[in-house]
Every structure is written in C-alpha cells, then in structure tokens.
Amino acid sequence: MFDFILPFIALILVVVFIHEYGHYYFAKRYGVGVTDFSIGFGQEIFGWNDKSGTRWKICWIPLGGYVKFFGDRNVFSQADQEKIIKKYNEEDRKKLFVLKPLYQRVLIVFGGPLANFLLALVIFFSIYTFIGKDFTPAVINEVQSDSPAMVGGLKQNDVILEIDGNEVQSIMDVSKYIMMSTDDFIDFKVKRSYDELLLKIKPNIVLSEDNLGNKINKRVVGIKLGAQNNEINHVKLGPAKAIYHAAHEVYYVSTSSLKYIGAMIFGKADTSQLGGPIRIAKISGQVAEFGLLAFISMMAYISISLGLVNLFPIPMLDGGHLMFYAFEKVLGRPLSQNTQEGFFRIGLFVLLSLMVFTTFNDLKDLGSVSYTHLTLPTKA
C-alpha cells in the first residue's frame, strides 16, 4: 500500500504546488491579495503564515489544491462585485482580484496551467540535456504472419519514417504513436530501399498488458522492431536542440491527448482507459520501482494532463473562469452573479459525474468491481 501512496503523494505535492504557484505568482505580480495557498482540500494538517498574511497549508485530501484571493467567497474565486465595492475601502480594493483589469485576471487564471506546461518542459529539457534522447531508427525486424501489418503491405527491413503524420525520430516513438492513434486506419510512411511508401494499416485491438503489467485494450499491427545493424543512437543534446525537442514533446502530448479525449466523446476510443486518482496512485507506485528518472518522466506527463484538464471550459476549473472572461470581453460586462452560480452548479455536476466514472474505471482496473456488481468480502 505504501509503495503506491508515498509516490502518489510526492507526485501530487509537486505538480499541484507548481500549478497553484502559477496562480500565486501572477496574483502577487499584479497586487492581488492571497489569503490561502493550499495543497489538498479539507481539514488542515499543518501550515504557516508568511509576512504578507498568506496561509500556506497542506490538507488531508490530496486531490488538488487552491489559491484563495482576498475578497473571494470560496476557493473557486467567486465574488459578488457589487457587495465587494461596498464592503472594502479604497486601499483594500486595490488587492481585490475581481476588480483587476480583464487581462490581469486572465493571466492569473492561466498562470496555473502555464506553470504545469513549463514544469514538463523543464523536465524534458533536463532529461535530454543530461541523460540524452534516443534517435535509433525504427527498423522492422519481423512482420507477423496474417497480421494487419502483413495485410497492409509492411515488410521486413522497412524503416518507419512517420506514423499518422508524426515523424518517427526513434524506435521508442512507434508504440507511442500507435497507442495514441484513434482512426480506423493508421498511416505508415516507410522507407524501402530507395523508395518512400505510404501504407494504411488497420490495427487489431486486443486485451493486453502494458510495461507495468496493467491490462489495457491495445492497438497492435503485428511487427517487431530492432536497431539497424544493432546500432543504438542515444545522444545528449545541446541547449537549443534540447529545448526544441522538449517543446515538441509537450506539444505532441497535449494535442494527442485532446484528440484522444475527443475520440472518446464520439465513441471512437476506449473510455476504460480514462482513469482517476486511484489509477494514478497505482501507476505512480509502479513507475517509482523503475527509478527516479522514470518517476520524473511520469511527473512531466501528469503535469501536462493537469494543465490540459484545467483548461477545459467547465465552471470550477480554470477554463471555466476563462470562458466567463471571454463572455465579459464580448458583452462588455461580467456575467451576472445568478448566471455564474448556474454555470457553477452545472460544472459541479459534470465534475462529480466524471469523478464517479473514473473511480468506477479505477476500481474495475484493480479488480474490485465488474460491470454488473461490486465484489464484497464474504465469510468462509
């Protein structure tokens, strides 16, 4: 149990702290008062007050965090502008988030997701600079008999150049691009002798295991890869190339994740792969067993996911606030308090529904629940 819990807590502490610090940084930059900086929800475990009066604290429920601004009614930065103007004097009004110019409020809210993307960028940059990046060409060593690859025309010794338009820079990219594909056919661009060919492969979807032993519905095409002439090309990158490849990885993970989520919404991708805190805890413990480098790499991907999810236009998330600000820009005034309250209720319902769904998937993944019943302990 502790093998999962401790890595999960470490993971959440870092990515949530970075996210909330993004909000905090821009808030302080624009003179907004911050009353609370919390990692977790619920009852406080411990905390302290800094010189500016901000309460820094860690709470019992490690499922997120928040930065509460001066004058907010709750942790979701809700505030009644008319009541605030009457309640505070002119000096205190300067510290109120709700009275700041629109562009400052946008930057303060966007600062959280931005910090998550920057954390991932720094992690990838550091790995590519100090550990290195693999550039071993992806050569097909074997095409399995009667496999989708054979039917689609892939052959032994083909060098895979692109998958679905994504450049294959390393043998490590192939499984990643196949896994993240959502269309019925996967486009393979290969080099065969001196020719470049574009082939369409329809993958099989089979129940398999990932590298950590977790059961997943996996897209397979039936090929085995190897290094050309058994030569591994793993090199440390200079700063310019490292930042380029780090930015490319952040961009690819972000866009492919959005594409995959869109495919799930329209029924083209497996929704059982959508997990919540329980699955993250399980995987973080499994990955931690492979060492610090694997764990830090996972932290980068989780940080990107946290940034993306928070940008969804759902009230109660950062994206919901940005949606309100877009309405404010178009209308020339903020949405009424009643309208915002209505949106927040919808957002709460959506988030609770999503939490129930992901928890069900997590329990099913652990073997604690099936589609038809809960597995409860019984007496012998």
Whether residue 267 is predicted with pLDDT greater than 60 in this model: the reply is yes
pLDDT in tens, 59-111: 998 888 999 998 876 555 555 566 666 777 888 888 989 889 999 999 999 99
Asked whether residue 123 is assigned to any structural domain, the reply reads: yes
- On whether both 109 and 249 belong to a single domain, the answer is yes
Asked whether residue 34 is assigned to any structural domain, the reply reads: no
For residue 139, give the 3-state DSSP assignment.
strand
Is residue 291 within 8 A of residue 298, CB to CB? The reply is: no
- On whether both 112 and 137 belong to a single domain, the answer is no
Asked whether residue 70 is assigned to any structural domain, the reply reads: no
- On whether both 336 and 219 belong to a single domain, the answer is no
Q: State how far the alpha carbon of 37 is from the alpha carbons of 21, 47, 204, 282, in Å.
A: 8, 10, 48, 27
- On whether both 220 and 160 belong to a single domain, the answer is yes
65, two tokens: 């965090």
| Domain end residue (candidates: 207, 235, 263) | 235
Whether residue 250 is predicted with pLDDT greater than 70 in this model: the reply is yes
- On whether both 256 and 279 belong to a single domain, the answer is yes
- On whether both 256 and 112 belong to a single domain, the answer is yes
pLDDT at site 206: 87
Asked whether residue 370 is assigned to any structural domain, the reply reads: yes
- On whether both 206 and 286 belong to a single domain, the answer is no
Query: What is the pLDDT confidence band of residue 371, given thresholds at 50, 70 and 90?
Result: very low
Return the number of other C-beta atoms located less than 10 Å from residue 366's C-beta.
12
Asked whether residue 324 is assigned to any structural domain, the reply reads: yes
Q: Mean pLDDT, to the nearest integer, of 241-251?
A: 96
Q: Mean pLDDT, to the nearest integer, of 42-67?
A: 92
According to DSSP, the residues that pair with 58 across neighbouring strands are: 39, 46
Whether residue 365 is predicted with pLDDT greater than 60 in this model: the reply is yes
pLDDT in tens, 274-304: 777 777 877 888 888 889 999 999 999 999 9
Q: What is the pTM of this model?
A: 0.86
CA atoms within 13 A on the CB side of 314: 16
CA distance 306 to 16: 8
Is residue 165 within 8 A of residue 187, CB to CB? The reply is: yes
% of the chain at pLDDT higher than 70: 90
pLDDT at site 351: 84
- On whether both 5 and 115 belong to a single domain, the answer is yes
pLDDT at site 107: 97
Whether residue 350 is predicted with pLDDT greater than 90 in this model: the reply is no
Catalytic residue flag (residue 20): yes
User: 25-28: long-range contacts at Cβ-Cβ below 8 A with a sequence spacing of 24 or more?
Assistant: 25/111, 25/115, 26/104, 26/107, 26/108, 26/111, 27/67, 27/69, 27/97, 27/108, 27/111
| More confident: 54 or 73 | 54
**What value does the mean pLDDT of the chain take?**
86
Find the CATH number of the domain harbouring 142. Answer: 2.30.42.10
- On whether both 114 and 191 belong to a single domain, the answer is no
User: For residue 88, which amino acid is it?
Assistant: Y
Buried b (16+ CB within 10 A) or exposed e, 45-84: eeeeeeeeebeebbbeebebbbbbbbbbeebbbbbeeeeb
Q: Mean pLDDT, to the nearest integer, of 134-156?
A: 93
Give the angle subtended at the CA of 339 by the CAs of 335 and 342, to the nearest 5°: 145
Is residue 60 within 8 A of residue 42, CB to CB? The reply is: yes
Select which of 20, 91, 142, 209 is catalytic.
20
- On whether both 194 and 123 belong to a single domain, the answer is no
Q: Which of 82-96, 197-211, 322-336 has the highest mean pLDDT?
A: 322-336
Return the number of other C-beta atoms located less than 10 Å from residue 301's C-beta.
16
Q: Mean pLDDT, to the nearest integer, of 102-128?
A: 97
Closest of 107, 58, 18, 76 to residue 302, by C-alpha: 18
Asked whether residue 79 is assigned to any structural domain, the reply reads: no
- List, in order, residues 6 or more apart from 254 with CB less than 8 Å away: 117, 304, 307, 308
pLDDT at site 372: 37
User: For residue 182, which amino acid is it?
Assistant: T
Query: What is the pLDDT confidence band of residue 44, given thresholds at 50, 70 and 90?
Result: very high
Whether residue 313 is predicted with pLDDT greater than 50 in this model: the reply is yes
The total of structural domains in the chain comes to: 2
Q: Mean pLDDT, to the nearest integer, of 109-137?
A: 96
Asked whether residue 111 is assigned to any structural domain, the reply reads: yes
| Domain end residue (candidates: 235, 254, 277) | 235
Query: What is the pLDDT confidence band of residue 378, given thresholds at 50, 70 and 90?
Result: very low
- On whether both 154 and 229 belong to a single domain, the answer is yes
- List, in order, residues 6 or more apart from 243 with CB less than 8 Å away: 121, 125
Q: Residue written as tokens 């069900």?
A: 360
Domain encompassing residue 154: 133-235
153, two tokens: 């025309």
CA distance 316 to 236: 42
- On whether both 271 and 127 belong to a single domain, the answer is yes
% of the chain at pLDDT higher than 90: 55
Q: Mean pLDDT, to the nearest integer, of 217-234?
A: 84
Asked whether residue 341 is assigned to any structural domain, the reply reads: yes
DSSP state, 129? Answer: I
For residue 105, give the 3-state DSSP assignment.
helix
| Domain end residue (candidates: 235, 252, 275) | 235
CA distance 234 to 29: 42
What would the 3-class secondary structure string for 308-344 be?
Answer: HHHCCCCCCCHHHHHHHHHHHHHHCCCCCHHHHHHHH
Closest of 347, 349, 369 to residue 359, by C-alpha: 369
